[in-house]
Amino acid sequence: MTGTKKRPGPARAKHFTASDDVIGGPLTGTRSLSGLARSRGPAVPRRLSDARRLADTRRASEWLADTSHAIYDWNSVSVSSSLRGRVFTLCDETLRDGLQSPSATDPTVEEKIELLHLMSSLGIGAITVGLPGAGERAYRDSLALVREAVRTRLPARINLSARTMEADLRPIANIAHATGAAVTAYTFIGSSPIRLFAEGWTLSTLLRHVEAAVTFAVREGIEVCLVTEDTTRARPDILDPLFRTAIGLGARRLCLCDTVGHATPDGVRGLVGWTRNLIAGCGADIGLDWHGHNDRGLAVINSLVALEAGADRAHGTGLGLGERVGNAAMDQLLINLKLGGAYDHDLSNLARYCELVASACQVPIPASYPVFGRDAFRTATGVHAAAIIKAQRKGDTDYADRVYSGVPASWVGRRQTIEVSHMSGASNVVYWLASQGLPADEDLIATIMQRAKSTRRVLAEDELHALVAAQTRTSNDANDMAPEMTMGREREAAVVN
């Protein structure tokens, strides 16, 4: 968090009586993590006096000086459940599922080690470092990462992936024994009818694999999480015996997978709730993971809903990298958890994490990508820029950072950027000139606006500088001409007189 300015206004819930003259009725207000407070309360109609208050600019500015009035937070008006106060961990799958993206390049082991530390620095509590049974390099890198975690006493729990086969679990056992690390084996098997049909499997096949895998890992002293692939399309009468068998044999966690990005938030609630009931019926202390993909563009919201519904661990990958269109984006999960007041950990390394995922995996960040895309905090639109500039002129950087942005740029070491295009007004140009330490010369503003309106895009920095340089040359020329012009005018005046 970088917004450190001490601000006025209530830091905690501020209760008003019925006689308090405030918009939205009695507030049960709260404050955001940026230090910019938001009001929170029931959706009741505004009173006439409140509308009058806002119509009166002077009174409105006084009223808004109490920052709890600056943003009315509809997100908290009708909340079915909340993550505030809930205990959960996040699991970073970038180094396993993320690398399964067809566009990703396998990073060097040095880059993977840097990513490992970045993940841990973000407070991510579990990190899957690979599938060591996949081949020689996968084994070597997994071993190096587990060694690094042990050497540096990394606080995050280390996971290694495996099919429900001894051939995949034995390398995990070897790594655990070689390093002395307490790793968790995430051992997976398909569970949906369509997968069973494709593979020619029956429930007996699945149970045989699960029994053999869990028994082997537990005997080797390795914690087990049973991962049922395609859980969101699997029948309860298949999942029930798989889960009970794994738990009975000593598995400590279950992982619900939306392997093909099928689930909606309703489906997530249904599946997580059903599984929580099954776990409660077993009377065991079993962790519950949610692992979601983004085929319908719902991966992030589904992961948040899963945590609200009772999962205690949500998976994600840097920039949402993963199979097909990827997984829940870890960076977006973190930002949303923080915005929701459910995550207090320092996120100052989040930008570096995203940059390294992009560079090491050679997957560029799209310009419009949330928070970390090039355009996330840029605007060239006149109305937007004017509002930001007006907020800045009031001397309030927090307001300027939020007036046209759902995420404060300052959280991730960035700032609101105002540019100049055919959509701009003069205030964009004035702002840009000020940012360059240049005076708001009217002729120069007119020249830049004229150029901007003649284009179909944002003017590049070097174009703007070229216009400034041309204008400066013109002015200098005019100054050089000035004595002659003066003399000419004097001659003119003499003639007239």
**Count, residues near Zn ion per rule CB under 5 A:** 1
Hey, what are 172's tokens? 């995990």
- Comparing CB distances to Zn ion, the nearer of 96 and 157 is 96
Strand (E) or helix (H) holding 157: strand 157-163
Query: x-or-dash pattern for Zn ion, window 422-441, by CB under 5 A?
Result: --------------------
Please name the amino acid found at residue 6: K
Q: What is the Cα–Cα distance from 236 to 258, expressed in whole angstroms?
A: 15
330-339 vs 350-360: helix crossing angle, rounded to 10: 170
Q: Is 258 in the site for Zn ion (CB under 5 A)?
A: no
CB atoms within 10 A of CB 445: 18
**CB closer to Zn ion, 230 vs 331:** 230
CB of 295 to Zn ion, least distance (A): 11
Radius of gyration of the chain (CA): 29
Residue 237 beta carbon to Zn ion: minimum distance, rounded to whole angstroms: 24
- Reading the block at residue 15, the tokens are 């209760």
DSSP at 231: G
Q: Which residue is nearest to Zn ion (CB)?
A: 97
Q: Among residues 97 and 396, whose Cβ is nearest to Zn ion?
A: 97
Residue whose pair of structure tokens reads 């889960």 in the numeric block: 243
CB closer to Zn ion out of 246 and 299: 299
Kindly tell me which of 229 and 419 has the beta carbon lying closer to Zn ion: 229
- Determine how many CB atoms are found less than 10 A away from the CB of residue 403: 18
Show contacts with Zn ion in window 68-97 (CB under 5 A).
97
Q: Minimum CB separation from Zn ion for residue 232, in Å?
A: 12
Nearest approach in angstroms of CB 320 to Zn ion is: 11
Report, in Å, the least distance between residue 304 CB and Zn ion. 17
Nearer Cβ to Zn ion, position 97 or 419? 97
Residue 83 to residue 340: CA distance in whole angstroms: 8
Q: How far apart are CA 409 and CA 377, in angstroms?
A: 7
- Cβ neighbors of 495 (< 8 A, separation 6 or more) are none
Nearer to Zn ion, 133 or 408 (CB): 133
Closer Cβ to Zn ion, 317 or 471, answer by number: 317
The span from the CA of 17 to the CA of 20, in Å, is 5
The distance of closest approach from Cβ of residue 96 to Zn ion in the complex, given in angstroms and rounded to an integer, is 8
Burial class from Cβ neighbours inside 10 Å (0-12, 13-18, 19+) for residue 65 reads: middle
Which residues 375-394 are close enough to bind Zn ion by CB under 5 A?
none
* In the complex, minimum distance from the CB of residue 103 to Zn ion, in angstroms, rounded to a whole number: 16
Backbone angles phi, psi at 315, to 5 degrees: -95, 155
Tell me the closest approach of the beta carbon of residue 211 to Zn ion, in angstroms.
24
Q: CB of residue 120 vs Zn ion: minimum separation in angstroms? A: 21
Find the binding residues for Zn ion in span 94-133 (CB under 5 A). Answer: 97
What type of residue sits at position 240? Answer: D
Residue 97 CB, shortest distance to Zn ion, in Å, is: 4
Q: Which of residues 97 and 223 has its CB atom nearest to Zn ion in the complex? A: 97
Cα gap 402→384, rounded to integer Å: 11
Q: How many CA atoms lie less than 13 Å away from 483 in the CB half-sphere?
A: 1
Is 141 an interacting residue with respect to Zn ion (CB under 5 A)?
A: no
Of 169, 179, 268, 264, which Cα lies nearest the Cα of 210?
A: 169
Collapsing DSSP to helix, strand or coil, 449 comes out as helix
CB 343 within 8 A of CB 318: no
Q: Does 398 bind Zn ion (CB under 5 A)?
A: no
Rank residues 93 and 308 by Cβ distance to Zn ion and give the closer one. Answer: 93
Q: Which residues of the chain form contacts with Zn ion (CB under 5 A)?
A: 97
